[in-house]
Structure 1
Amino acid sequence: MRNCFSKASLKDSRRKILKTLNRYISIVAITALGVAFFSGLRATAPDMRTTAENYFKNLNFMDIRLISTVGFNDDDVSAIKSVSGLKGVMPGYSADAAVRYNNQNYNVKLESLNLNQSASNNSYINRPKVTEGRMPQNQHECLADTKFMKFINCKIGDKVTFNSGSSKDINDILKFDTFTIVGIAENPLYISYGRGTSSIGNGTTDAYFFIPSDAFSLSVYTDIYVVADNPKHYPIFSDNYDNKVLKPLKDTLSKISEKRKDIRFREIKKEAEDKIADAEKKVADSKQQLSDGQKKIDDSAKKISDGQKLLNSKKNEFEKQTAAAEKQLSAAQAEYEAGKKEYADKAAQLEQASIQYNEGLKKLNEAKEKLAALKSIYPAGSPEISALAAAIAKNEAELNALKATIDSGREQLASAKKTLDETGAKLAASRQELEKKKQESIDKINAEQKKLDNAKAQLEKSKADFEKQKVDAEKKIDEAQKKIADSKVQLLKLEKPVWYILDHNMNEGFSSFKQDADRIEAISLVFPLIFFLVAALVSLTCMTRLVEDDRGYIGTLKALGFSNGSIASKYLFYAISASLIGSLLGCAVGFQLFPNVIFDAYRILYTLPPIQADFNITYAVLSTCAAVFCAAFPAYLVCIDSLRETPASLMRQKAPRPGRKILLERITPLWKRLSFIKKVTARNLFRYKKRFFMTVIGVAGCTALVLTGFGLQDAITAIVSWQYDQIRTYDMEIDLKENISSEELSKIQNILDTDKNVTGSICVLQQAVDASNAGKTQSAYIVIPQDGSDLDNFIHLRERVGHKSLKLDDNSVIITEKLSTLLKLKAGDKITLRNSDGIEKKVKISGIAENYLFHYVYISPALYNKLYGKKPEINQILATISDKSKASEDSLSQTIIKQDGVSSVYFTTENKTNFQKMIKAVHSVVIILIISAAVLAFVVLFSLTSINIDERRRELAAIKVLGFYDNELAAYIYRENIILTIIGIAFGLLLGVVMERYVTISCEIDLVMFGRQINWYSFVYSAALTAAFAFFVNVIMYRRIKQVDMVTSLKSME
């Protein structure tokens, strides 16, 4: 037997390739497409995992996070460090807080940063990666989230002030509240777009900050992060890592937690009892202080009262003494006045007597003169003279007596006057002395009274101060007693602490990324199969045609003594070489193109470095082997089929198959009405069944891929319009502060009611919860409207299929469709809801509502009251507006954000814009899918049409000899291609619907549900695109049809 791999044979093989270059290139192209799709898509998921794993390793991402209901102390940390198989243990602090920036409130997560380790120690767990700026160097500096800096337009060097976001004091969390941003950081804890849930505000964390550990005022650690030792280097995304590394470690930590929980329970109970005892002692001391203060006030009041009484007594005594002295002085004054009056009377009498005396003396003198005159006239002794002398003597005696009386009276008056003057002087002196003593006593009394008044005033002030302090103190005592009573009740209800041992699969970013990689891997199992199937069909057709064309040559070789294997090896070399070249091209392109494009699309959702698109030898070998098999196996089958014949039969032209009636011929009324050309076309379609099915399958596969691409694009782009234009139709969302007063809420409502731009509003409670069923848990939001009947004006609750409206009732809830799918729930089932306080409630589901973004559970106010024993506390207002321009929204936002009870204001236009930016990158994946499918369609149609022309060249030449023009001859071929393309498109559209549904569901992330409908124009585009490529192939083939030589039909068949 002769060897076919001689130098001449290889030269002949090379000539065969050049002679059938179009066919060879078709195999290379279809193989390259299949390998590129398979290797590229299959390598994308491992490359994504490798990139993320290296990122996590470089930043020492935690394996396990421990959380306790009472925090952790140093003994807890020491107990965990004693566990074997740990690479690192790091305690830390974290807390929910709020920050107000640019008139907006944001919920943030504060994470502790160890300044002594973070910058230089590679064992620092969850080490932040500073992308801009520097690490903090003191307690007053911090690192900010890249998301916060990007969307809030914040700069390095800006100051941020944190508040608790609730009624608590921020000093319970931080030693001071204002920090300077000195750097922007990434962190492996937060690689996803979302930042997790929050215990304040609307329940969603907007960003995170790294605060130096020394700036926290917490007494215990809130978290402990653990990194496991991985001696066998299992990939962290693998099941082996979960089962052989994490699970044993979690079991060990669970055992330690049981011991530590008992110890901590006793410590906490003892600490609580001591605090209660100290509080009771403080209350008793406060009560004693109040009692002592009251006693002091009472003693002071009594002292002042006694002093006032003594002073009043002194005043009374003084008044008595003064009255007695006044009485004595008055009596003396009366005597003095009486003496003066008597003196005046006697002086008057004496004066009258003196007058009488003087008059009597005058008369006496006159009588003496008369007597003397009479004596000169009358003789002595005359009766007239005697009588006159006797009268004169008598008068003189009386006058002398009177004079003696007057002189005596004058002496007495002088003595009396002297006595009166002395008495008057004494009275004046006594009066002056009395007035002096009286004034001195009054001054003294007034001074003492002033002292008493001052003391009274001070007492009243002390009383007022004491009363005020007493009210405050009694209030504090009452509060303290209430706290003590509550503490005692809590102490009685005190339960053992709970440790939550959460592995990295519970981290939102890690889990979402892992799911996305799994989805890409799921997609990579579907699309490459179609490409390889089509590649196998094209290879089968090409090799069948090649072997059919070389029948005579094969017979000659066989007659010359070449073995079947050596003859077949020539065609295997043809197929294998084409598939190998295609595989090399496919691997070179696929390993770089698909991972980079797909990962770049997902990087919008994750904070990760560029993908490490390494050459994956496993998938390269698998795809190459699959490609070689798809090309070589059909070639081998065709060769073996031909080599079974004798050399003589091979050297003769293969006899045509006997003609048979087709199905249309049996439908006589229809067949008779067909023209000759249409009858020939119908016969040719069914005559070449292999070409019929290969063309239909190839075109159907390409159409299905194109429709899948367009359908996926429809599913993604429709989310925004359906979610915000048909379901959640409100335009504005106002987040309210915790414990907002009714007055503040009424003021906000009044602003909305009076603003002409606001067309309606509704108050709701929206709160983050964990929804679970059968061991599966998803984060969701409960929505409780203040007025359930008005909810439909803002949120349309309806079923996706049929758009049947759903109404809230007081016995069940309505959940969204994606949540029901993830938790495998339906109407009539029960769902478990767990709020931030750890309270779990199981409620019945009455309906499944259409929704595309996030998960929601809608509850009526009455049912919420029934479940939780309280009315819903409003924390949001949803509103619709008429003017959605940026200027109008900014004006309205500035008015509302100034109100005391408002935390933040959001407009759905902003959400639409952000989401459209986010999903825009996903379109690149769709575009690659459409382009690849289009190229596949072109290669398939080109290859099959080329083969169709080659194998029917004699037939075409004969038709041309019969007088058909080139256009008519082309139409003869095109007609068949068009019919096959139409049939392929019809089947492809049906197949595309199934593929699109599978791909759409596989691509969805947990928080998003893609649209479930394909737009009618996507069917049109898919069909038109496939038809356009068919038309383009026909145009290219026209030149080959024109080159058909009519002489060929005159050649002998032998």
Structure 2
Amino acid sequence: MNRTYFKSTMREISDSVGRFVSIVLIILLGSLLYVGIRSVGPDLNQTASHYFEKQKLSDVKVTSTMGLTNSDLTSIKQNKQVKQAMPVHMTTLQKRRNQIVSVYGYQNGSKLDRLKLVSGKLPTKNNQIVLDKKAKQNGYKIGDTYRLPKSASLKRRTFKVVGFVNSPQYVSSTDRGTTNLGSGTVNYFAYVPKAVFKQKEYALIAVQFRNPKHYAAGTDQYNSYIDRQKTKLKHTMRNRPSARQKQLQTTAQNKLDKQSAKITKEEKQLAKVPAAYQTAKTKAAKKELIAAKAKVKKAEAKVKAIAKPTYLYNDRSTNPEYQDYFDESHSIAAIAIIFPGFFLFIAILITFTTVSRMVETNRREVGLMRALGYTKHEIAMKYIVYTLLAGILGAGLGGALGMLTLPQFVFSLLSNNNLSDFVGVIPWAYLAQTMVAGLVATLGSALIVLTINLREVPTNLMRERAPKAGKRILMERIKPLWKRLSFNQKVSYRNLFRYKGRMLMTIVGIAGCTGLILTGFGIQNSVDDLIPAQYENVQHFQAIVTMDKATRQIHAGQISAQKSALIKSVTARPTHGTANDTVSMVVPKATTNFEKYVSLKSVNGSKKIKLTNKGVILSEKLATDMNAKAGSTIILQISGKKVRAKVTGVIKNYAGHWLYTTPTYYHKLTNKTYHATSRLVKTTQVKKAQREKLSRKLLKQTGVLNVSFPQYAAGELSTGGLGSVVLIMIVMSGALALVVLYNLTNINISERIRELATIKVLGFYDREVTAYVARENVIFTVVGIVAGWGIGVFLHQFIMVKAQTGSILFPMVIHYPGYIWSALITGLFSLIIGVLTHYKLKGIEMLDALAASE
């Protein structure tokens, strides 16, 4: 390209700065959202993976119903795929009536599950303890004396608090898992030097596998790899249950043999005493020995009955909130599949139209250049440079801004986890995709129009295309209506259908932007309605009171009703598959009036499902994970025992995994006597101050161990990331709507510049000229908004189905304010563009516009 032609290209940009900037902006917005939102999921995964790798989070924790020994540790290390294995002492204690603490043994220089120091220092002496950062909520501070209840597992009870820590085993800043003690919920954890423990057996053995391909945490590849290694580890340990059983039996039998030998020896000594010298004391001693011998025989029977211990291999998904973190990441990734793609599609469509119109407008110049002897390649270079600049600037800047800002912004709003250091990855694939899309929209459209125009002879190119002829429209045939329209209205309606391509493109652009805005509001509605839908439509109790004996009545003025129930945390698995869900099992003492506490309605809400003695009822998302329906069978792990349960129904449920059954079926599953552990409580007032007052009042009553309010605790469900993504989507969609309307209006004016100049010459005032154009835009806007609502409903349904991960099932709702706001935002931008259009139309030079083309 020679210097003169290059100057011409630069002049083309300077003479139409608004058009060039609008093209760059549309591509930039599309690229920013596409790369930014699509990067959020991978970046959240990378942040977690980096944290877990740095803190050496174990892949699997091996536990046993009979504890673990050095023989178990040796057996685990024999597996060639095991990189490291670390035995851990742990005990869970009830420090107070409403305070449960898990105490771990701390090893200096731990190879696995390393603590992250928040403040203070790590323990170096036996009288030192570090507490979970969450324990600060209970008023503890560095330097305090910390007392534990008396325990057979620990050598001492009193410690000095020397620091606060986070553990990679607990992703959440609030959830510390469950236990069989007290309320069933662990409040926080603590670490003391391992030398303080006097346990012979280990509570668990943490295992890290070799990961030669460096699969990142949370990915399907990592999960599949760990599942394979768990299977191999189980095979390595296949003989340990029998060996451990034999060891336990042998140890116990040796003790009994010593007792038996001692009794036999004492009996022989008593037998040597002559009858004449036997006293009442001697006779009593004989009776005691006979009773002791009988006890030994009974004990020997129990020793023979010692069962094989059950070995459990728990991967990271059983760590509190671990899976929820990645589920939220996957939810955001699910939104990123469709929303940014559709956003970018609208941006490309409008850009394609804008560039095509620009080249079409310059057809006379193209014809002149052809006539002057310029080659097709030389002529095309001007538009190639122009569109390459716009495409590369828009896609490059947008992609870079999206990558650097949106993921970190979303991460900063995730307050419910202990991950503090954001680690991003460069999304080369997304950057390449958006660059290709930007160049297709700019360079591609220019090349297509140029190819068409350059086929024509120069004389044809130097003539303006003949304006499209007007045609009768359907409305004209409705004569009573047509007669009542003014002249200007008739012209406007004819023009709508005269330029069908422009009409369609404008409606599609407006509809796309409105649909994106409505989708954003819809996602926010679904997230916001999750908790109300659960605790107003499904579960109607406000509090769960855990008791030592749920047969006791509790009393408080705020309590309107109460019902005894057994509430237990169990693990559910499908009969075929690898899903592993932690489930809250609720077993009401009596099924009478249970619907007042929990609505057991079918998924479509058409019928009520009754609790029966023939099986269990599952919540909807749990049934989906288990691939179960009425008549199916699932595997439950209740207090370490695996049982098969029949499913009798599936109910609508939004938050959490729930399972309901009767006392009779519970006994059938566990072979244990049913004992209610809690009371479901309905209260008249639920404000925070009133909840705290009720909780204090109940905790003072005999037998009350804990009081919880699930609805308000559930407010901590990890959906903050989704909410922030929604905010981004609404703002970006609004910005796109503004740029799209501006561009399409510019195209409209440039296409009809001579027509508008003509009506100004005919005596139309500036306001009338503006109304001439604005009337069409109003119709396009209204039609686009209505069509956009349809697009928004479809996108919302599609996205929310994809976003349903973990234990969450979002309600499919869009409230009417969403429709109103999406219409108002689009309408407002249309009004702003209308005002800008008015001033642009005022500046039209009539003589220049009407000058002959030839």
Aligned to 1:427: none
**Matches of 2:668 and 2:724 in 1, distance apart?**
49
Q: Deviations along 1:176-210, whole A, 9 cap, x unmatched?
A: 34444322111111113533332334544333222
In structure 2, distance between residues paired with 1:254 and 1:1029: 63
Q: Residue type of the partner of 1:216?
A: F
Give me the whole-angstrom Cα distance separating, in 2, the residues matched to 1:202 and 1:606.
Answer: 23
Partners of 1:280 and 1:912 lie apart in 2 by 57
When residues 1011 and 241 of structure 1 are mapped into structure 2, their CA distance, relative to the original with a 3 A threshold, is closer
| 1:878 equivalenced with 2:680 (yes/no) | yes
* Aligned pairs for 1:550-629 within 5 A: 550-602=362-414, 604-629=415-440
Which one of the candidate residues 759, 767, 770 is aligned to 2:568? 767
Measured in 1, the distance between the counterparts of 2:402 and 2:274 equals 90
- The question of 1:1024 aligning with 2:824 is answered yes
Task: Tell me, yes or no, if the aligned pair for 1:601 and 1:922 is still in contact at 8 Å.
Answer: no
Q: State whether structure 2 residue 216 is matched by structure 1 residue 229.
A: no
Query: Which residue matches 1:826?
Result: 629
Relative to 1, partners in 2 of residues 1:107 and 1:295: Cα closer, same or farther, differing over 3 Å?
A: farther
Q: State how 1:11-26 maps to structure 2 within 5 Å.
A: 11-26=7-22
Question: What RMSD over aligned residues (CA atoms) do the two structures have, in Å?
Answer: 3.3
Aligned equivalent of 1:653, options 459, 464, 474 = 464
Is 1:211 the equivalent of 2:192? yes
- 1:595, 1:611 within 8 Å by CA — same for their partners in 2? no
Q: Deviations over 1:468-507 (max 9, x none)?
A: x999x9998877665443333x24xx33x44434444554
1:49 aligns with 2:45: yes
Q: Which residues of 2 match residues 197-276 of structure 1 at below 5 A?
A: 197-238=178-219, 241=222, 246=226, 249-250=229-230, 252-276=232-256
Give the 5 Å matches for 1:361-440: none
Give, in angstroms, the shift of residue 813 of structure 1. Answer: 3.0
Once the two structures are superposed, residues 588-644 of structure 1 have per-residue CA deviations (whole angstroms, 9 ceiling, x without a partner) of 321122111222233x23211231235444433332232122221111111111111
User: Are residues 1:1046 and 2:849 paired?
Assistant: no
- 2:75 pairs, out of 72, 79, 84, with 79
Is 1:547 aligned with 2:359? Answer: yes
Shift of 1:715: 0.9
Offset, 1:24: 0.8
The answer (yes or no) to whether the contact 1:140–1:179 under 8 Å persists in 2 is yes
CA distance in 2, matches of 1:722, 1:875: 26
Aligned position for 2:339? 527
Choose from 965, 969, 983 the match for 2:783: 983
Distance in structure 2 (CA, Å) of the matches to 1:1044 and 1:777: 69
Quote the Cα distance in structure 1 between the aligned partners of 2:257 and 2:205: 32
Q: CA deviation at 1:162?
A: 4.4
Indicate the structure (1 or 2) with the bigger Cα radius of gyration: 1
Per the alignment, residue 190 of structure 1 pairs with 170
In 2, are the aligned partners of 1:202 and 1:735 still within 8 Å (CA)? yes
| 1:962 and 2:752 correspond | no
Tell whether the 8 Å contact from 1:283 to 1:481 is kept in structure 2 after alignment: no
> Aligned to 2:141, what secondary structure does the other structure show?
coil
Q: 2:511 aligns with which of 700, 708, 715?
A: 700
Task: Choose 874-883 or 253-262, whichever is displaced more.
Answer: 253-262
Q: 1:335-388 CA distances to partner (integer Å, 9 max, x unpaired)?
A: xxxxxxxxxxxxxxxxxxxxxxxxxxxxxxxxxxxxxxxxxxxxxxxxxxxxxx
Letter in 2 for 1:127: R
Contact persistence 2:332–2:725 (CA under 8 A): no
4+ residue runs of structure 1 moved beyond 6 angstroms? 282-298, 473-480
Superposition pairs for residues 583-982 of structure 1, below 5 Å?
A: 583-602=395-414, 604-665=415-476, 670-737=481-548, 740=549, 745-746=551-552, 749=553, 751-752=554-555, 755-773=556-574, 774-775=576-577, 776-799=579-602, 801-802=604-605, 804-846=607-649, 848-907=650-709, 910-911=712-713, 914=716, 919=719, 922-982=722-782
Q: Deviations for 1:962-1018, whole angstroms, at most 9, x for unmatched residues?
A: 232222222221121121122221221111112112222333441222222111221
Deviation of 1:17 (Å): 0.8
Give the 3 Å change call, closer, same or farther, for CA 663–483 of structure 1 in structure 2: farther
2:133 equivalent in structure 1: 146
- 1:763 CA drift (Å): 1.1
**C-alpha contact (below 8 Å) 1:715/1:1012 kept by paired residues:** yes
Q: Is the 8 A contact 2:416 2:716 kept in 1?
A: no
Are the structure 2 counterparts of residues 571 and 866 from structure 1 closer, same or farther at C-alpha, using a change threshold of 3 Å?
same
Three-state SS of the structure 2 residue aligned to 1:764 is strand
The runs of 5 or more residues in structure 2 that have no matched partner are: none
Mapped contact 2:343–2:516 kept (Cα < 8 A):
no
The one of 59, 62, 68 equivalent to 1:63 is: 59
Match of 1:195, SS state, is coil
**Kept in 2: contact 1:161–1:177 (CA 8 A):** yes
SS of the residue aligned with 1:788? coil
Q: Which whole-Å deviations, capped at 9, do the CAs of 1:930-974 have from their partners, x for residues lacking one?
A: 001100111111110111112111111112222322222222211
**Maintained 8 Å contact 2:182/2:706:** no
In the TM superposition, residue 869 of structure 1 has moved relative to its aligned partner by 4.1
Report whether the alignment pairs 1:486 with 2:302.
yes
Contact conserved, 2:323 with 2:806, CA < 8 A, in 1? no
Query: Contact 1:290/1:470 (CA < 8 Å) preserved in 2?
Result: no
Q: 1:838 to 1:652 in 2, by over 3 A?
A: same
Amino acid at match of 1:598: V
Distance 1:886 1:477, change over 3 A: farther
Q: SS of 1:1034's equivalent?
A: helix
C-alpha distance 647-250 of structure 1, shift in aligned 2 (>3 A)? same
Cα offsets for 1:84-135 (capped at 9, x unmatched):
45432212123333332xxx523443332113x24xxxxx111111111211
Q: Which moved more, 1:505-514 or 1:892-901?
A: 505-514
SS of equivalent to 1:126:
coil
The 1:1004–1:284 alpha-carbon spacing in structure 2 relative to 1, beyond 3 Å, is: farther
> What does residue 6 of structure 2 align with?
10
Question: Which range is displaced more, 757-766 or 266-275?
Answer: 266-275
The residue that corresponds to 1:357 in the other structure is none
Maintained 8 Å contact 2:628/2:647: no
Displacement after TM superposition at 1:582 (Å) = 1.4
Which segments of 5 or more consecutive residues in structure 1 lack a partner in the other structure?
A: 119-123, 164-169, 303-462
Between structures 1 and 2, the one with greater helix share: 1
CA displacement at 1:572 relative to structure 2: 1.9
Deviations 1:810-835 (A, max 9, x none): 33433222222333333444443321
Partner of 1:135: 122
1-structure distance, mates of 2:57, 2:347: 44
CA distance in 2, matches of 1:956, 1:292: 133
Of 225-234 and 290-299, more deviation after overlay is shown by: 290-299
Contact 1:764–1:877 (Cα < 8 Å) also in 2: yes
CA distance in 2, matches of 1:189, 1:626: 42
Which range moved further: 775-784 or 822-831?
822-831
Q: Could you tell me whether the CA contact under 8 Å between 1:105 and 1:904 is conserved in 2?
A: yes
Distance verdict in 2 for CA 1:694–1:712, change over 3 Å = same
Tell me the alpha carbon deviations over residues 389-428 of structure 1, each in whole angstroms, 9 at most, x when there is no partner: xxxxxxxxxxxxxxxxxxxxxxxxxxxxxxxxxxxxxxxx
Aligned equivalents of 1:577 and 1:825: distance in 2?
A: 55
* Gap change, CA 1:928 and 1:299, over 3 Å in 2: same
Structure-2 residue corresponding to 1:404: none
> For the Cα contact (< 8 Å) 1:64–1:226, is it kept in 2?
yes
Flag the 1:720–1:507 CA change in 2: closer, same or farther, 3 A.
Answer: closer
Q: 1:252 Cα shift?
A: 4.5
Contact 2:310 2:640 in 1 (8 A): no
Q: Check the 8 A contact 1:198/1:205 in 2, yes or no.
A: yes
Q: C-alpha separation between the residues in 1 aligned to 2:451 and 2:3? A: 24
The answer to whether the 8 A contact 1:129-1:185 is kept is: yes
Structure 1 residue 645: Cα displacement: 0.8
